[in-house]
Structure 1
Amino acid sequence: MNIEMFDEVIPYQNLMLCIQIRKREKRRQQKKRWHYHRELEFAYVLEGVLGKQIQDKQYRLEPGEALIVGSSQPHCSWCADGDATTYLILHFDLQPYFDPSLMTYYHFFYEITGPLSQLNETLRQNEELRISLGQHMKSIYDEMEQKTVGYELAIQLQVKQLLLLLLRCGPNEAPKTNKVPPAYNLRPVIDYVERHLQENIEMETVSQMVNMSYHYFSKYFKKMVGMSFVDYVNIQRIKKAERLLLTEKINITQVAEMVGFVNMTHFYDLFKRYNHCSPKEYIRRLLPDASEFT
């Protein structure tokens, strides 16, 4: 069997900010709905108990507790106890908030070295961090509801504060440096890779998209992202393969082809490197009742 999972389209309340924040209520009888989206997600419980599963990890959140879901991570939530759970849920795309001051931290915020959900254990242990995160989410919610003059600026500042909180509590903070890198925007490259994973992605093509020479782009990308362009593309292919394994009724060979691998040995080696298990073991971990894949 496969998880019934969908690629959720987040309806932004403000297109310029690429953001949505809602106060939601879940009732005990509601069905778990597996989904993913490119936006980061923050949840903060106000009343009741919220159950949340991100890939193969489950969480039980009580009032005042918070949780982060990384971009495109499969997840679901449910009312874990009592009659109903009320919580704030925040979604936003990073693009409007990414200015030159954040360029040094590309690898962190674009989850190159791991999803931001890896910070959830830190959140669980750090009450001061949870309080700060909750205060920022409440402020964003109030600004979006009231829409007083300058609310867009106020929300943008609050989101930046959230990003700063994550960066300072994260395990992969970039080395401190006094050298400010040139402010080239790599987002067109990241978007292009996401759309063309099934195809042969040439560095010559993407370097031209950002008006760099092949060799300069290679060095610049590695400096900003923390890994080579080839390694980055491979990670994105494996991430997409993870979702396909859970949601599509196709075999592992077809999954590999859909993310651009023609050599199955290479696909298995990379999958094991990033997940510490084979594709079949990954399926069993998230879908204990899944039928055998070939």
Structure 2
Amino acid sequence: MKTDMNESQRTFWKKYIAKAKLDLSYAAYTKVTRAWQDENDACPFNRLYYIREGEGYVRIGDRTYYPKPDELYLLPAGSDQAYGTISEHTFGKYWAHFTAKIGDLDLFQILQTSPFIKVKDPDALQSTFEQLITYRQSDELTSEFRLNAVLMTCIADFIDQCDKVKLNLASTPTFEKMNSVLLYMEQHLAENVSVDTLSRIAHYHPNYFINAFKQFTGYSPIQYMNHLRCEKAKDYLMMTDLNVSQIADTLGMELSYFSRMFREHTGFKPTAFRDLKPQLGE
């Protein structure tokens, strides 16, 4: 995924989209009939269509596509969706309906992807869909674990193979506001940034801001600031000769607090983390 982001922002967004909660409603293989046709305005769920044979069309928004065998299509939730046949040689396809939510947002409101990919390993993807079907029908206690693992891998593979993927940071006003807050925090790591200051940037009341920030990031403001400081400290430890005291000063932290915070985040004392450098470089 190519984005105009620095390392801290990429780290945040990788973890943020990984919070998506998946729920598979249906999975099956169908040889559709000639009457297969429908339109769904602002469809509330995502559709995956893995075409194995035949011909037909799908429409996403105002774009119409004519899928070919061994193409995998994603019709994202929230979009106007339509599909139908164009001849007697109808689709034989694996398909799945699922939701992927991060809070109140659909994952593919945040991530804008290509509508389809050319499948590199058709047999492997067929096996993936067969697993989805099996686990969806299973009564085993662990079936939901396995179902989510397979679905998550399938989605990740789709995203990785897309020609175009971009983050839609302006999908809601919250994203624009919080993105400004995150940028400010990154630029002021060595300062004692107050909640009042951050809430003014987001144009929120301080009490509301704390709840909104935690819902957006999964952290309180101080926890997220320490997360940023910890990531920066890792860079200093691995890329510079600054001692631990100098790094703490650079980040505006007392040495004892910095050492405790670093160990809580990484499981290592700062000096022990630096000792990993030869191993990490191998």
Q: What TM-score do you get using the length of structure 1 for normalisation?
A: 0.44
Structure with bigger gyration radius? 2
